[in-house]
Amino acid sequence: MRNTACFLMIITAVFISNVTIYADATDDKNKLEAQIDNIKDTLTFGIEDEVKMIIGSSSVALSPEYMQLLFNRYKEAKITLTKIAVVNYLTRISTKDDYFLNFLYNEAIEKKTDPQLKSAIFYYLSEHGSDNEQKLLVDSLDANDDFLKNAASSALKKVKSETILNALMERLNKDLEMRSSDDNDYKPLPDDIIYNMILTFGDQKYANSISYL
């Protein structure tokens, strides 16, 4: 009789344990689904500050569906800091999307785009752009806006393409040639820009730049 009672107690304990584990798993699943629904609602209907909180300092890509929702919010955003936060997030994640890339490249070449946003896009292009997009960074060294010049030269430190490094070297050589010419209309590149260019060559171990290092 005593053995039967012990056996029943063990069976009851195992049953309760399994029910508890199942309940915990169900609860975790419900919490996760609630979090996912919350993210979707925030990306769809949330204010811009809430959208920024979703991506925060994360470097993990959202699902394709949510990435598209996030980019829709980028296009609709009224506050530049919101757009910058989205671009910074896209820069951090490893996922590359040609649609995002083309859209942001066009933003960068648009004259009306805020300089601070352009600066953020420069860094995005340095991480995810092809030679075609990254060539914009070299061209921007001649921008009228000194802020954009500095932003482009800083972003170029991330570029590893030999094609772009060659273009950067050509621009440096042109600057040195023009400095010694009689062209009084030429505006030399600022010293800090040249310094960044040389740092880029050193960081990327660019062989053709040995004479400058």
User: Tens digit of pLDDT for each residue in 83-95?
Assistant: 999 999 999 998 8
- Per-residue pLDDT of 153-203, as tens digits, reads 999 999 989 999 999 999 998 888 888 777 778 888 888 998 888 888 888
Length of the chain equals: 213
Residue with tokens 């005593």: 2
CA dihedral for 14, 15, 20, 21, sign (positive or negative):
positive
Give the closest residue to 81 by CA, choosing from 123, 126, 46, 116: 116
CA angle 150, 151, 157 (to 5 degrees): 95
- Per-residue pLDDT of 51-65, as tens digits, reads 998 888 888 888 899
pLDDT value at residue 198: 86
Query: Predicted confidence band at 32 (pLDDT cuts at 50, 70, 90)?
Result: very low
Contact 155, 124 (CB under 8 A): no
Name the most confidently modeled range: 41-45, 104-108, 174-178, 189-193.
104-108
Contacts for 33-39 with beta carbons within 8 Å, 24 or more apart?
39/66
Tokens for 31?
A: 């919490």
CA separation for the pair 152, 54 (Å, rounded): 28
Q: Is the pTM of this model over 0.75?
A: yes
CB atoms inside a 10 Å sphere around CB 190: 14
